[in-house]
């Protein structure tokens, strides 16, 4: 079976993290996420700090690259990826390590709220930037 990297993209609260757990078969395959950087490993508390966002992106890319170099059969990346350029490093990782890359857009078809307290106004701004490439 060919190895795969699956990028899950969508707005906060769309269900990306829930889908990531399903696709990882509840931890059998690694999941990386920018949110991991902002989540306290002991308490589980999430605290976003915009000034460190670039560090979170870098950590997520490095973790994905490390899992690919180790030969993980499937790697799931759970991020918003609202802008196409945010996915480019993962295309490079996939190519360098001979992975097939899938981009899965997760739409919000649930009544759940995002767990990061992103305001409706901010969600609307993110949605306006979000582009899906069908062709």
pLDDT tens digits for range 16-57:
999 999 999 989 999 999 999 999 989 989 888 889 999 999
Neighbours of 46 (CB within 10 A): 13
Q: How confident is the model at residue 135 (pLDDT cuts 50, 70, 90)?
A: low
Quick one: average pLDDT of 127-134? 72
The pLDDT assigned to 126 comes to 72
SS3 content of the chain, % helix, strand, coil (to 5): 40, 15, 45
The pLDDT value given to residue 121: 81
Query: What's the chain's average pLDDT?
Result: 89
* Distance (Å, whole) CA 112 – CA 14: 8
In terms of phi and psi (left: phi > 0; alpha: psi -120 to 50; beta: otherwise), the region of 26 is left
- The closest of 80, 65, 102 to 17, measured between CA atoms, is 80
Task: Give residue 113's pLDDT band: very low, low, confident or very high (50, 70, 90).
Answer: low
Domains of the chain (ranges; CATH) run 4-129 (3.40.50.300)
Q: Is the pLDDT of residue 61 over 80?
A: yes
Q: Which tens digits make up the pLDDT trace of 68-110? A: 999 999 999 999 998 889 999 999 999 999 999 999 999 876 6
Query: 12 or 88: whose pLDDT is higher?
Result: 88
């Amino acid at each position: 079976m060919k190895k795969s990297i699956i990028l899950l993209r969508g707005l906060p609260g769309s269900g990306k993290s829930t889908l990531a757990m399903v696709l990882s078969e509840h931890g059998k395959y690694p999941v990386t996420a920018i949110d991991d950087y902002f989540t306290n490993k002991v308490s589980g508390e999430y605290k976003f700090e915009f000034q460190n966002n670039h560090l979170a992106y870098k950590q997520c890319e490095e973790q994905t690259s490390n899992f690919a170099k180790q030969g993980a059969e499937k790697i799931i990346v759970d991020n918003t990826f609202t802008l196409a350029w945010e996915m480019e490093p993962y295309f490079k990782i996939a190519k360098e390590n001979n992975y097939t890359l899938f981009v899965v857009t997760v739409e919000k078809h649930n009544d759940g709220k995002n767990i990061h307290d992103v305001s409706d106004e901010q969600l609307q701004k993110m949605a306006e930037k979000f582009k899906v490439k069908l062709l």
